[in-house]
Amino acid sequence: MPVLSSSSTGAPRRRRQPRSKATSVARRLLLALPLWGALALAQEAPQAAPAAPGIVQTAAAAVTGNPFLAAAIATGLAAIGAGIAVGIAGAAAIGAIAERPELLGRSLIFVGLAEGIVIYGLIVSFIILGAR
């Protein structure tokens, strides 16, 4: 049951209960599991035949596994992370703008930085697909 306290306006508000350490560890593991699975799937394919002596093997030729899956996971995880970041930054920005409208420019910069995370995920996926 949430603990209620009164704010300066007299309306009751909920106080957030502190999280246990086990809950925090469990959340981190659940977030890291898809990444570990993607790495395992990307490296599951058999290795390519070694290059002839005297021939340098490029990084593009060394890529094995499923690059489409790796690109999809890179883009998907980046989009999920950016969605969480934009949700938090956007809510804080709206609250700050409501109190002080002159903070509009600064708050848009922070929301834009959070949206840039998806661009990084797309760049990584293009690099992965270009290495095929």
Query: In which band, very low, low, confident or very high, does the pLDDT at 18 lie, cut at 50, 70 and 90?
Result: low
Q: Which domain holds residue 74?
A: 66-132
Residue 76 inside a domain? The answer is yes
- Asked, for residue 81, whether it belongs to a domain, the answer is yes
Interval 68-93: pLDDT, tens: 888 888 889 889 988 999 999 999 99
Share of the chain above pLDDT 90, in %: 17
Residue recorded with tokens 């995920």: 121
> Is this structure's pTM higher than 0.85?
no
Q: Is residue 97 part of a domain?
A: yes
Domain membership flag for residue 75: yes
Residue 44 lies in a domain: no
